[in-house]
Structure 1
Amino acid sequence: MRGDLEFGSLPGLVRAAAERHADREAVVDGRVRITYRQLGERVERAAAACLATGVEAGDRVAVWAPNTADWIVSALGAVTAGAVLVPVNTRFKGAEAVRVLERTRARLLFVTGTFLGTSYVAALRSAAAQPPAGGAAAAGEVGPLPGLPHLRDVVVLADDAPADFRTWKEFLGAGDAVPARAVRARADAVGPGAASDILFTSGTTGEPKGAVITHAQTLRAFGVWSELAGLREGDRYLIVNPFFHTFGYKAGIIACLMRGATMVPQSVFDPWAALLTIAGERISVLPGPPTLLQSLLDHPARAAHDLSSLRVVVTGAAVVDRRLIDRLRGELGIPTVLTAYGMSEATGVVTMCRRGDAAETVAGTSGRALPDTEVKVAGPGGAALPPGEPGEILVRGYQVMSGYFEDPRATAQVLGADGWLRTGDIGVLDAEGNLRITDRVTDMFIVGGFNAYPAEIEQVLLRHPGIAEVAVVGVPDARLGEVGKAFAVRSAGTAGEAGVTAEELIAWARREMANYKVPREVEFVRELPRNASGKVRKTLLRGQAPR
């Protein structure tokens, strides 16, 4: 049955899951173990707190935190209150997170305390210390951070918080006076066509763009995904993919809610911890990028752990080595190993292999279009090309976004009036409709499963006083698939030994941007190769880089 018709909205899904799977374990997060009934109660309490805080239907509520039970409850509580969820990348630095909060005019933020040795609260306060660039805040809009006038409340998902923020416990307590009927009324008012979330990606300009996705699109797409993957009630799902990503939030949390599977979030991927969890919790479902799966297979302690419970693996985001598929099926005996292709602008899923597909299909392609989804490979004029010929991948279907949040210009660049979404990827369709990704129209490269956009990285590197020009390309990496390499021109007067070194520039970059964006190598050049119009010829730079 179509998910959008069955549940109506994500609040409807949460309520249905709490009723259908009441006593089944819903979330296992360390010592925290809660049933579906308890999850439903916690989500409604979080929704009540959102109402008490003043969150209105359509307000944007952001979550900047790692994979935990609190992320699940706070996010689902926000959407149950009618808010639009804005997941924020945990690898972002403070300034990057603030830009997302600014763009969406987020009303409420849930933020982790300290994660991986970094105080997210301190990073947020430092980055938002300046008054808003657009001028004074509107009357009545006075929040705890001067640079974010629309952000009225910040809730720290911890036991301690600064005086002008609130702890998770204090936030939840504020909602105790809100009657259950008010929460139910707000949840019932959320329609299938309402926006459920804004997932941020980046384009070739480096400016962040938020894809707006509805409740119906999310439910329908991941109802199909769950069916094709074979997810079923009682499965135990290790969610390593971050919740800020479609693959973690929707193919993880939402899919589990739809099928009554147990969510086992892992905040940071560690092969040793993953092996212990798979064996100890009898994990049956493990989606993740190829690098994650490879690290499990190659771990020296793998043989000491019982991984026989694994039943389903779904991967993507990079070309998959046929040997990886064979090892997962052969060495671990996993019956279902699938690959898929998607993007935030298309609700995260466009094509997918089917159970029973041959290993060469799973390894060599990203599968076929989802039902009720059109995929074509087009030439420069938009006309479909025959099987075997490479061209830009275009997608049309129910899961294509309505547009980028408050950015009609950027929307018009990728979404035509006829409904076709330009993906920016180059691919080839075979005679059976299986899609193989061969290249990218843009310069994007993928670092361990995360999209890295050279233009965005270049803009940051150019802020360094010792850099006059820079171009970034992706180069092969044995562990991560691809990493960034920067070709940089030093500023005048800083050339030679007196100028910034590669090590210094990389160390500086680590303080300014998420780690996966940081170039692993810097090569200094006297000038960048350009064409007659002045555009950097990155094909030549890729030729210089080892391939």
Structure 2
Amino acid sequence: MTTTYLDLIHRGAGYNPERTAIVFGDRSLTFGETQTLSNQLAHALIERGVQRGDRVALLLNNGLYSVPVDFACVKAGINRVPLNARLSLDEHARMLEETDTGMLLYGADLAERAAALRDARPGLICHGIGGDAVGDDLLAAAAGCDRAAPRVAVEPDDVILTLFTSGTTGTLKAAQHTQASYAGICRNVLLNLVNVQRDDAMLHAASLIHASGVFVLPFWLRGARTVIMPGFDPDAFLTLIEKERITAVNMVPTMLQMLLGHPRFMSTDVSHLRQVIYGASPMPRPVIEQAMQLWGREKFWQYYGQTECPLTIAVLRPEDHEGALLGACGRPSLDVEIRLVDEAGQDVPAGEPGEIAVRAPSMMAGYHNAPALNREMFMEGGWLRTRDVAAFDERGYLHLKDRTSDMIITGGYNVYPREVEDVLVAHPAVAECAVIGVRDDKWVEAVTAVVALKPDQDVDEDTLIAFVAAKVASYKKPRRVLFIEAIPKTAVGKLNRKALRDQYGKQ
């Protein structure tokens, strides 16, 4: 018998019904209350015609109901499609179209975007969670529903999460996780990263639809608390570490750097804090060295993973945080197999760099509606290509060398050059452009546009940045625009981003 996500939800609730499970501001839910509310929400969805396997979009910022809504979708057999609230209306509409999603659950603070999406996607059914401006309030409707769990049969290979990431050309792609793979993710976290104890508490300031949310189920299963913030605020973050006796936090490098600049970083009581877990983008060495000096090396854990194979493909443990290893991914997770392969999928010689290929119970089932991409990314024997190039050292530590894509990681978010370039070239003054990541002390990489203008055209940096910002999420807009005569090309006429990175990438 294969353990499912649904199995683990019910186990955690049954073990600890009276204990506090979720904390958000001055409000909280016990395990029993969360279980009952998610049961009722699941019934409310079923009453509205949702059937097992249906895709339902979630437009929710972090809040008290983030976890109950997720659990309700699992209990109703729904394939949830989270939408990052920071994305643009056009991006959200494309995601709904590409997944053929006809229902949207939205938070009260995002009612205006929900209304705009309904206008953009006629026929889209919208239900509010704790507020109503577009459709009915699902939370209010749930109050009158059955408190027992719905009887919806699920199978281990049922897809329960379709999570968008971006392709190497900026094309949207959506990784699909199943009942079994999500249970595998929970096992992966408990086995490799966090030994959760009953009185532990994890503080979540990053979006729960991404890596931060992966930690909810392991803490739920062990009877520990999930403390949620609406967003990252350094002062509030440090306050909650003390107030809630937080034992673990998960952050991207930019968040840690902002904390280091706060006057209370050194004076905050972190006696209960055992783990500072970080990942999503490379950690600047000065940042991690200063943080370890002030809070202690023993607290810091780094993970390397991908949306396609969360959360930990490799882990850098506290005792490894020294010397050259500070630039490593760590050693392979216990439940993950890693190979380094060439373009043909053959193993490279020992010590040589190759593309990381993985095989693990936590791996996605495949990309939604992308048979050609799945054939490209999956190799014989169930191995998945990551498009990251790395090498093992003599002690078995994995060191990233490069990305086979041109992806930029800025503040923990992925930005793909083609997407930004497509917007820029639509400006009437732009002849051609290329977008690269330039090393940045705050953001790790700053999105930078290199632009060649048309003859007799003139436009300034601020105008182009504003032009892009109106079309895509704010974190994708260029932070700098560099003007040159012509964009360098490869021998076959493609944009030579590597040449530009070599020239400007370390400015």
Q: Same fold (TM over 0.5)?
A: yes
**Maintained 8 Å contact 1:206/1:459:** no
> Contact 2:57/2:103 (CA < 8 Å) preserved in 1?
yes
Q: Where does residue 213 of structure 2 map in the other structure? A: 249
The equivalent of 1:210 in structure 2 is 174
1:365 aligns with 2:349: no
Residue 226, structure 1, aligned to residue 185, structure 2: no
Q: Aligned equivalents of 2:448 and 2:141: distance in 1? A: 44
Q: Provide the rounded CA distance (Å) in 2 between the counterparts of 1:296 and 1:77.
A: 35
- Which amino acid in 1 is paired with 2:101? A
> Contact 1:325–1:359 at 8 Å: present in 2 too?
no
1:391 aligns with 2:354: yes
Alpha carbon RMSD of aligned pairs, Å?
2.2
SS of equivalent to 2:311: coil
1:297: Cα distance to partner? 2.7
1:103-122 to 2 correspondences below 5 Å: 103-114=98-109, 120-122=110-112
Residue in 2 aligned with 1:536? 495
In structure 2, relative to structure 1, the CA distance for the partners of 1:228 and 1:486 (3 Å cut) is: same
How far apart, CA to CA, are the structure 2 residues paired with 1:501 and 1:171? Answer: 52
| Correspondent of 1:41 among 36, 41, 47 | 36
> Per the alignment, in what secondary structure is the counterpart of residue 168 of structure 2?
coil
SS at match of 1:129: helix
Q: Is the 8 A contact 1:339 1:362 kept in 2?
A: no
Q: 1:154 aligns with which of 126, 142, 145?
A: 126
Question: SS state of the match for residue 58, structure 1?
Answer: coil
Superposed counterparts of 1:136-535, under 5 Å: 145-146=121-122, 149=123, 151=124, 153-162=125-134, 165-173=135-143, 176-177=144-145, 179=146, 183-186=149-152, 189-229=153-193, 230-245=195-210, 247-250=211-214, 252-322=215-285, 324-333=287-296, 335-354=298-317, 356-357=319-320, 359-360=322-323, 363-491=326-454, 495=457, 499-535=458-494
> Quick one: distance in 1 between partners of 2:181 and 2:39?
23
2:451 & 2:285 partners in 1: Cα distance?
Answer: 36
Contact preservation (8 Å) 1:322, 1:359: no
Q: Matched residues in 2 for 1:45 and 1:69: separation?
A: 16
Q: Secondary structure of 1:286's partner? A: strand
Paired residue secondary structure (2:93)? helix
- The answer to whether the Cα contact below 8 Å between 1:316 and 1:339 also exists between their aligned partners in 2 is yes
Paired residues in the alignment total 505
Give, in whole Å, the separation in 1 of the partners of 2:138 and 2:52. Answer: 21
Distance 1:479 1:416 in 2: 38
Opposite residue 485 of structure 2, the aligned amino acid is R
Distance 1:348 1:86, change over 3 A: farther
Q: Which runs of 5+ in 1 are unaligned?
A: 115-119, 131-144
Whole-angstrom distance in 2 between the partners of 1:355 and 1:301: 24
- Contact 1:212 1:401 (8 Å CA) reproduced: yes
Q: Distance in 2 between matches of 1:239 and 1:29?
A: 10
1:460–1:61 CA distance, 2 compared to 1 (3 A): same
What are structure 2's unaligned runs of at least 5 residues?
none
Please say which of residues 65-74 and 39-48 is displaced more in the overlay: 65-74
Task: Quote the Cα distance in structure 2 between the aligned partners of 1:59 and 1:355.
Answer: 42
Tell me the SS of whatever aligns to 1:532.
coil
Task: Give the stretch that moved more between structures: 512-521 or 390-399.
Answer: 390-399
1:69 maps to which residue?
A: 64
**What TM-score, normalized by structure 1, do the two folds share?**
0.87
Contact 1:51 1:81 in 2 (8 A): yes
Cα deviations by residue, 1:32-56 (Å, 9 ceiling, x for unpaired): 1111111111111111111111110
Match of 1:133 in 2: none
Q: Distance in 2 between matches of 1:536 and 1:516?
A: 23
Per-residue deviation, 1:349:
2.8
Structure 1 position 387, deviation (Å): 4.3
By how many angstroms is 1:389 displaced? 2.3
The partner residue of 1:91 within 65, 86, 99 is 86
* Residues 284 and 180 of structure 1: CA distance in aligned 2, closer, same or farther (over 3 Å): closer
Q: Structure 1 residues 463, 277: closer, same or farther in 2, change over 3 A?
A: same
- Cα separation, 2, equivalents of 1:362 and 1:287: 20
> What TM-score, normalized by structure 2, do the two folds share?
0.93
Shift of 1:160: 3.5
Instruction: Name the amino acid aligned to 2:111.
Output: V
